[in-house]
């Protein structure tokens, strides 16, 4: 006489009986015989302490409470189906939340392209962008607040993996009044005695360090006239005739009045865009995102 808690079986049986208005018909629909159905519904009524059906010779009729419970049961069964669907979607990486760390000039071109493509392929995934420098990204990754990070020049970090996802050329941003503005291409020697604006210094090694090493390998010493925090400020200074600066291809979408971009000689004048992630993150969502990144960004930049 003692029953356990309510189970989905009770709901399935009860709703079938209600919809068939008959135990026998419902039994047929459920591919069971009639007596178990009777028993389960009786149990359900006893568990609830409520009479749900009025048994009549011509079939069954819902009581007022039965009508309420029927609606609830239908709802629960539908939600259970949804729960399964959603879970399976999540397992395939089609549902969930992706926290992406971004920084620097890549946010102007490469990142938006990746995100747009990913949104299209996985519309039910929430994407949250976090503006973090490299150190911040690494910390956030370790603390699981981030799924992936995009940055330049990752050093090896235990527990983290990084891939180069894009090679970009360097460009020189000059004011249109500057003689370089007419040139098809420039090289490092051209820049040696030019007033250079450099960025950013937030976490070493950084963009600027790689640029400086390119000068050093050519035994050149650039004339640094100003240090700034970010690309936008640097280009703004170029726009106002302060000097020259270097920018990756991604920054080319950043158009300010009077600023002209001239490609730098190709040899070694490359800057990488890297993606960093946890080594132990084997989620389908991250896998799917990585695939999109490689599909969107040119296999060889």
Partner DNA sequence: CGTTGCGATACCCGAGCGGTATCGTTCCGC
Partner DNA sequence: GCGGAACGATACCGCTCGGGTATCGCAACG
Binding residues for DNA, per CB under 7 A? Answer: 2-4, 9, 17, 22-25, 31-36, 38-43, 55, 57-60
Q: Does 145 bind its own copies (CB under 8 A)?
A: no
The nearer residue to its own copies, 228 or 285, going by C-beta atoms, is 285
Residue 68 binding target from its own copies, DNA, none, CB below 5 to 8 Å by type? its own copies
> Choosing among its own copies, DNA, none, which partner's interface includes residue 201 (Cβ < 5 to 8 Å by kind)?
none
User: Which of the ranges 15-23, 78-86, 160-168, 205-213 carries the binding residues for its own copies, by CB under 8 A?
Assistant: 78-86
Distance CA 165, CA 150 (A): 9
Residue 253 partner contact from DNA, its own copies, none using kind-dependent CB cut-offs of 5 to 8 Å: none
Q: How far is the CB of 6 from DNA (least distance, A)?
A: 10
Question: Shortest distance, CB of residue 237 to DNA, whole angstroms?
Answer: 52
- The rounded distance, in Å, linking the Cα atoms of 181 and 264 is 12
- Cα separation of 233 and 240, whole Å? 11
Report 230-289 residues binding its own copies (CB under 8 A).
283-285
Examine residue 68 and tell whether it contacts its own copies (CB under 8 A): yes
Residue 135 CA to chain centroid, in angstroms? Answer: 19
Q: How far apart are CA 240 and CA 68, in angstroms?
A: 72
Distance separating alpha carbons of residues 154 and 138, to the nearest angstrom: 10
- Output the CA–CA distances (angstroms, integers) from residue 135 to 110, 149, 192, in the order listed: 21, 10, 31
Instruction: Please report the DSSP string for 70-84 in residue order.
Output: HHHHHHHHHHHHHHH
Contact of 239 with 231, CB cutoff 8 Å: no
Query: Please, which residue, 23 or 199, has the CB nearer to DNA?
Result: 23
Which residue number, 119 or 287, has a Cβ lying nearer to its own copies? 287
> Quick one: which segment of 81-89, 161-169, 240-248, 258-266 binds its own copies (CB under 8 A)?
81-89
Cβ distance 283 to 93 under 8 Å? yes
Determine the Cα–Cα distance for residues 92 and 89; give it in Å rounded to an integer.
5
Q: Omega into 205 within 30° of 0, i.e. cis?
A: yes
The answer to whether residue 33 forms part of the interface with its own copies (CB under 8 A) is: no
Binding residue for its own copies, selected from 27, 73, 102, 234, defined by CB under 8 A: 73
Give residues in contact with its own copies (CB under 8 A): 5-9, 12, 48-52, 63-65, 67-69, 72-73, 75-76, 79-80, 82-84, 86-88, 90-91, 93, 95-96, 283-285
């Amino acid at each position: 006489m003692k029953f356990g808690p309510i189970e989905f079986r009770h709901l399935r049986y009860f709703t079938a009986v209600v919809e068939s208005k008959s135990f026998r018909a419902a039994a047929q629909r459920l591919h069971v015989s009639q007596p178990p159905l009777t028993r389960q519904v009786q149990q359900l009524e006893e568990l609830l302490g409520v009479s749900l059906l009025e048994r009549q010779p011509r079939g069954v009729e819902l009581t007022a409470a039965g009508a309420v419970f029927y609606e609830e049961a239908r709802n629960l069964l539908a939600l259970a189906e949804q729960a399964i669907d959603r879970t399976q979607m999540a397992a395939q990486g089609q549902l969930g939340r992706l926290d992406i760390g971004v920084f620097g000039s890549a946010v102007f071109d490469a990142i938006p392209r990746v995100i747009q493509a990913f949104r299209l392929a996985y519309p039910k995934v929430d994407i949250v962008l976090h503006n973090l420098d490299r150190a911040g990204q690494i910390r956030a990754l370790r603390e699981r607040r981030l799924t992936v990070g995009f940055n330049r020049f990752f050093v090896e970090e235990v527990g983290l993996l990084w891939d180069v996802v894009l090679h970009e050329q360097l460009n020189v941003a000059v004011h249109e009044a500057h003689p370089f503005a007419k040139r098809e291409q420039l090289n490092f020697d051209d820049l040696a005695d030019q007033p250079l604006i450099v960025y950013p210094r937030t976490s070493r090694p950084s963009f600027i360090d790689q640029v400086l090493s390119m000068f050093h390998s050519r035994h050149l010493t650039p004339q640094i006239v100003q240090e700034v925090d970010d690309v936008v400020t640097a280009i703004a200074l170029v726009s106002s005739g302060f000097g020259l600066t270097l920018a990756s291809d991604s920054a080319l979408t950043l158009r300010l009045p009077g600023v002209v971009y001239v490609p730098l000689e190709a040899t070694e004048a490359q800057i990488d865009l890297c993606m960093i992630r946890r080594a132990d993150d084997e989620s389908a969502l991250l896998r799917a995102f990585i695939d999109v990144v490689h599909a969107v960004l040119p296999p060889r930049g």
